[in-house]
Amino acid sequence: MPSAGLGVERFDIERQAARDTHDVREVMRVTPLVWISLGLVSLTISVMLAGSSLVDLVPNHDRQVFEYRRDLAEALAVQYSALAARDQIETIQFAMETLAKRNHEISSLALLQKDGSIVAQVGAHAQAWVQPPGEQSTLQSLQVPIFSGDQPWGVLQLAFRESEGSDIDRFLSDPWIRFLAFVGVMGFIGYLFFMKRTLRQLDPSGIVPTRVKAALDALTQGVVMIDTRDLIVLTNDSFSRAVNKPVTSLIGSDLGTLAWKSVTPTDSLMVYPWTRAIMDRQSLDNIPLIMNRSDGDQRKFIVNTVPIMDDGSTVRGALVSFHDVTELDRANSQLKDANSELEASRVQILQKNQELEATNTTLHVEMDQRKKAEAEKEKLYQQLMNASRQAGMADVASSVLHNVGNVLNSINVSTDTLLKTLKKPMVGDVCRIASMFNEHQENLQEFLTVDPKGKQIPSYLGLVAESLSGSHQTIQGELDSLVKKVDHIKQVIMSQQDIARAGNIREPASAEDLMEQAVVMALPEPEKCHIQIVRDYSAVPMMMTDRHQVLQVLVNLITNAKNAMVEHSGGTRRLTLRIGVLSAKAFAQFEVIDTGIGIKPEHLPRLFAQGFTTRKAGHGLGLHSAAIVAKNLGGTLHGQSAGEGCGATFTLELPLVVVEAAA
Ligand SMILES: Nc1ncnc2c1ncn2[C@@H]1O[C@H](COP(=O)(O)OP(=O)(O)O)[C@@H](O)[C@H]1O
Ligand SMILES: [Mg+2]
């Protein structure tokens, strides 16, 4: 059984063969119609011919011509005999010539006398004239006897040219024949068309019982019954719906004339499965066919065909069932699309998986490396911590040394003073007087009153007592100052231990006292360095602050100012100390202004950096620790200079009101 999957070549050959058979069948199919039409035409023509012969309906063409020619000849005969009676032969001759010229049908004509002599003639009459029997005339040769009174006088003979063309031409040019031919052809076409329409319009389904029709309509499949000419004899509603055409218009039409298409778009459909089934007398199953409906929709059917045989095993037609698989097909192709998409995404997922695996491996490696790096970092961090702790300790140590060094300077000065006071010669003199008293124990009174040396002792002792009490006061003062300075050193060391931490002891302090104390510590003997001190103090209320830390800052500032001025060779050395209140900010302001070497503009931003110094003996710690202290106290420290040689101004601002957070 042939199927849709045949080889292309074999299928082509089969198609060609099928097409030939189909053409023959086409002719065969038309023949009965043609025969019927031909029969009807013959009948019509026979009736017309019979009618014509019975009723003499149609006039004979030749006879008409003959009658016309006879009338003409008779009229001429009358005219010429009259002229001959008057002996006007020339006029006859002239009239004959004129006639022959004007009437081309006339080959020749002659007027003869009774004895046969020619009175007048035109054309080669002797050759043209064919004598009919007796006195009769034919179509070509007409003769009219002329009488003079009762006696025959002569005869007028007219020879007509035979009409041109063959007998067939003449036959065909006969209007009656033409009319019959016209009726025959038009009648044939008309009958054929009429018969075709009539046969088509005859509804064969009328003979199908209603129950059978209802049963067919109940089927979901389209069912079509065709005859051997593929004309639809019967169909059901399902098929009508599927092809979008009413049943009435389908009945009698050729099933193949619906717009069928092969499933493979390149092949044009040559032979329909039902045609093949009828030809092969074999049922044909599962042939896919596509139909383009008039509404533009395209439906796909699976076609099964069973040939219908009669008892004598002659094929009478075929039963064709159409299973509409359009939706199924669409769903199928959607499924296919989805499947291929799924396949594509599966491939993508696989790729992604591989990539992920690769990334995972890289990640593992990276993680290992990172862990190692972490461990190393931790180690380094520990080392750094140790290093920075040591560095921090070194910082604190050097800062302590620095600040303690500042105080020690002034302690040196105090001790110097003490030593000088103690080394005064009067102490030695008192010792000598004591030993003199020992020598003159027995005669002490005599010694004091008589001895010249002894006499001077009482007044001298008065002087010594006076001097000693002065020295005592100096020593007392210096010792007080020493105690204060030692206390400051203690505080410096304590404060340096936790310099970064706030929360030191706050106590009421006078800004003026702080400044003065700082000057004594930093610059105890200004005149020695030829420094003039200018004080510009405004009234500042008592403030709560850490005295020692403020002192530390101010001592640093004044020491730096002194160093800057000592280094600066020319000009006056003037140190201006200014105290005031920034009313808007509620800050106390301490300014240390000098006329020293000044600061280069490029150094200004680095002043407070740890280790920044321009001095040989410097450490670069003073301003750094001072700035930290100022910040811890809730204040600020600024440095200004108009440039090299222009001196510098350092400003410390501290909050006047105690800040709770810092308390
Ligand atoms: N009053 C000033 N005039 C000029 N330069 C100053 C003054 N005060 C500080 N400087 C500059 O700031 C630097 C840092 O000062 P400081 O931190 O106290 O360290 P050191 O005094 O050990 O150099 C000094 O070396 C100096 O260059
Ligand atoms: Mg310094």
Tell me if 187 CB under 6 Å of ligand 1. Answer: no
Question: Within 13 Å and on the Cβ side, how many CA atoms surround 445?
Answer: 0
Q: Is the pLDDT of residue 70 over 80?
A: yes
- Are residues 320 and 353 both part of a single domain? no
- Residue 101, domain CATH: 3.30.450
Residue 318 counted as domain residue:
yes
Q: Which residues contact 324 (CB under 8 A, 6 or more apart)?
A: 221, 222, 238, 242, 299, 300, 301
- Are residues 343 and 284 both part of a single domain? no
Tell me if 647 CB under 6 Å of ligand 1. Answer: no
Tell me if 614 CB under 6 Å of ligand 1. Answer: yes
pTM of the predicted structure, to 2 decimals: 0.37
Residues 618 and 637: their CA atoms lie apart, in Å, by 20
- Are residues 311 and 365 both part of a single domain? no
Q: What average pLDDT does range 349-364 have in this prediction?
A: 91
Residue 191 counted as domain residue:
no
Residues 229 and 235: their CA atoms lie apart, in Å, by 16
- Are residues 208 and 154 both part of a single domain? no
Query: What DSSP state is assigned to residue 522?
Result: H
**What ligand has the least distance to the C-alpha of 614?**
1
Question: Within 13 Å and on the Cβ side, how many CA atoms surround 468?
Answer: 11
Residue 69 counted as domain residue:
yes
pLDDT value of residue 185: 93
pLDDT value of residue 391: 53
Summarised one tens digit per residue, pLDDT across range 588-600 is 999 999 999 999 9
Residue 629 counted as domain residue:
yes
Residues 259 and 264: their CA atoms lie apart, in Å, by 15
Tell me if 607 CB under 6 Å of ligand 1. Answer: yes
User: Which structural domain, as residue segments, surrounds residue 72?
Assistant: 61-163
> What's the burial of 297, exposed, middle or buried (CB within 10 Å: 0-12/13-18/19+)?
exposed
pLDDT value of residue 266: 67
Residue 33 identity: L
Q: What average pLDDT does range 462-482 have in this prediction?
A: 84
Question: Count of domains in the chain?
Answer: 4
Summarised one tens digit per residue, pLDDT across range 116-142 is 888 888 888 888 888 888 778 888 888
- Are residues 247 and 386 both part of a single domain? no
- Residue 239, domain CATH: 3.30.450.20
- Residue 572, domain CATH: 3.30.565.10
Q: Which residues contact 99 (CB under 8 A, 6 or more apart)?
A: 76, 106, 109, 122
Of 324, 355, 390, which residue sits at a domain end?
Answer: 324
Of 135, 163, 191, which residue sits at a domain end?
Answer: 163
Q: Is the pLDDT of residue 2 over 60?
A: no
- Sign of the C-alpha dihedral computed for residues 405, 410, 414 and 419 taken in this order: positive
pLDDT value of residue 602: 95
Of 426, 444, 478, which residue sits at a domain end?
Answer: 478
pLDDT value of residue 10: 46
Residue 641 counted as domain residue:
yes
pLDDT value of residue 4: 41
Which of ligand 1's atoms lies nearest the C-alpha of 598?
A: 4
Q: Where are the beta strands (DSSP E) in 243-363?
A: 260-261, 284-292, 298-309, 315-324
How much is the mean pLDDT over the chain? 82
Summarised one tens digit per residue, pLDDT across range 173-225 is 777 888 889 999 999 999 888 887 777 666 555 556 778 778 888 888 899 99
- Are residues 519 and 636 both part of a single domain? yes
- Are residues 159 and 214 both part of a single domain? no
Map residue 629 onto helix, strand or coil: helix
- Are residues 591 and 634 both part of a single domain? yes
- Are residues 299 and 389 both part of a single domain? no
- Count the residues in the chain: 663
Tell me if 618 CB under 6 Å of ligand 1. Answer: yes
pLDDT value of residue 659: 40
- Are residues 656 and 530 both part of a single domain? yes
Q: How confident is the model at residue 349 (pLDDT cuts 50, 70, 90)?
A: very high
Residue among 591, 613, 644, 651 to mutate when testing ligand 1 (max atoms within 8 A of CB): 613
- Are residues 237 and 370 both part of a single domain? no
Residue 184 counted as domain residue:
no
- Cα separations in angstroms, 187 against 49, 196, 199, 319: 15, 14, 18, 37
Q: How confident is the model at residue 58 (pLDDT cuts 50, 70, 90)?
A: low
Q: What average pLDDT does range 546-563 have in this prediction?
A: 90
Residue 55 counted as domain residue:
no
Which of ligand 1's atoms lies nearest the C-alpha of 608?
A: 17
pLDDT value of residue 345: 92
Summarised one tens digit per residue, pLDDT across range 248-295 is 888 888 888 888 888 876 666 678 889 888 888 889 899 888 888 888
- Are residues 585 and 512 both part of a single domain? yes
Q: Is the pLDDT of residue 580 over 90?
A: yes
Residue 414 CA, ligand 2 centroid: distance in Å: 22
Residue 563 counted as domain residue:
yes
- Bridge partners (DSSP) listed for residue 287: 303
Which of ligand 1's atoms lies nearest the C-alpha of 615?
A: 25
